[in-house]
Chains A and B, each alone.
Chain A
Amino acid sequence: MIEEAFVPVVAVASTALGCWIAARRLRWPLRGLAPAFGKALECVGAVVLFCILNAVVGTAVIFAARALSGRFVSLHLGADQTLLAVSALQALVFQWWREQSSRRD
C-alpha cells in the first residue's frame, strides 16, 4: 500500500542521496557517519528531556493560574503541539552550548 510505504521509501531514498552527495561530491569520510548518528541521538534525547520539562512547568503554570484566577484552566493546554517545536529549539541550543563548553574544557 502506498500509504504505508510512502514515508519509509522517501526517507531511505533521500538518505541514500544525501550520503552519495556527501561521500562522492563533498568527499566526507564515511567513518564520520556513526559519530554523527550518535550526536543526532543525543539531540533527540535532549528534545525528550525538554518536552518533559515543559510538561512539568506547564502543569505548574496551569495549577498556579487556577489558584490565582479562580477560574478553570484546562490541563489540555499542555498538549499544545507548539511545545514540541519549542522543545526542539531549546534542545538544539542546549546541545550546542554543551558542545562549546566541552571544547573549552
Chain B
Amino acid sequence: MSRSSAALRVVGGATLAGFALCAFTPLPNEVCRRSVVAAEPRPAQAIVVLGSTMTPDGMLSASSLRRALHGIELYRRGLAPWLVFLGPGDGSGNSQAAIRAELALRSGIPPEAIVTGDEMWTTREEAEGVRRLLAPKGAREILLVTGALHMRRARWLFERAGFEVIPAPLSDASCESIGPESRIGLTLSLLQEWLARAYNAVLPGSRG
C-alpha cells in the first residue's frame, strides 16, 4: 500500500469514527449544552435584537421573527427603555430592521422607543453600529437577543465594542436533538460557530 493510500485511510477512518460519535452518541448534545450561554434577563439600558435572515420573498425568516418577538416581550416586561432592531435589507428596499420595527409598532411599542440599524452585515459590524446608534443615548448596558449558539461570540464582540452585555438568548440551540440527522445538523452548527469564532479571533480587523 502506498503512503498516500495509507494517509487517506487514516483520514477516512478518523472521519467515520467522528461521524459515528456525532450521529449515534449524545456527544454533540453535551458539547452544545456547554457552548450555550444561559439567559439572565434583568433591567438594562437597551434591548438589542441582532439580525438574522430573510426569505427570498422579502419576509422575516423564522429565527428573525422569533428574535424580534423575544425583544418585544423583553421590552413589554419593562426591562429597558430602548428597543434596537438590526438586520440588513434584501436589495428590494425591505430590511429586517424596518419590518421588525413595523411589527413592534403594531404590537403597541411606542415609536420613540424603537431604534433601527440596517447597514450592518456581520455581528462585528452590528457591535460597532450599535455603539454608534446608542452613544448619543448614553446606553452601555444592553440586553442582547440572538440565538443561543451565537450568543457567546456575539457577547464577546459587543463587550469588545464597549458594552456591558446581559445575555437574553432564544432557546433555539436544539441541544436536546434526538436522532442521527438532527445531531449531525447540530454538529455542523457547532462547527460553523467555532470557525466563526476562530475567524474573528485571528482576523480582528476583517468582516466576518
Chain A residues in contact with chain B, CB under 8 A?
A: 1, 3-4, 6-8, 38, 40-49, 66, 72, 74-76, 79, 98, 102
Cβ-defined partner of B9 (8 Å) among A7, A41, A49, A79: A41
Whether B121 pairs with A42 at a CB distance below 8 angstroms is no
Whether A40 pairs with B121 at a CB distance below 8 angstroms is no
Mark B18-36 against chain A: 1 for CB-CB distance below 8 A, else 0. Answer: 0000011000000000000
CB proximity of B1 to chain A, nearest CB, Å: 8
Determine the distance from Cα of A66 to Cα of B206 in the docked complex, in whole angstroms.
Answer: 12
Whether A45 pairs with B11 at a CB distance below 8 angstroms is yes
Determine the distance from Cα of A27 to Cα of B93 in the docked complex, in whole angstroms.
Answer: 67
A74-B121 in contact given A41-B16, A44-B16, A79-B192 (Cβ < 8 Å): yes
Cβ-defined partner of B12 (8 Å) among A7, A48, A76: A48
Nearest A residue to B23, CB-CB = A7
Cβ-defined partner of A40 (8 Å) among B2, B4, B11, B12: B12
A-B contact pairs, 8 of them (CB 8 A): A7-B180, A41-B9, A41-B13, A41-B16, A42-B12, A43-B12, A45-B15, A75-B196
Chain B residues in contact with chain A, CB under 8 A?
A: 1-2, 4-5, 7-13, 15-16, 23-24, 121-122, 178-180, 188, 192, 196, 199, 207-208
Nearest B residue to A102, CB-CB = B2
Complex A-B, nearest 3 residue pairs according to Cβ-Cβ distance, in ascending order = A45-B8, A44-B12, A45-B12
Nearest A residue to B125, CB-CB = A72
CB proximity of B165 to chain A, nearest CB, Å: 23
Q: Beyond the given A49-B11, A79-B192, please list 19 additional residue pairs across the A-B interface where CB-CB is below 8 A.
A: A4-B24, A8-B24, A42-B8, A42-B12, A43-B12, A44-B11, A44-B12, A46-B8, A47-B15, A48-B11, A48-B12, A49-B8, A72-B121, A72-B122, A72-B207, A75-B196, A75-B199, A79-B188, A102-B2
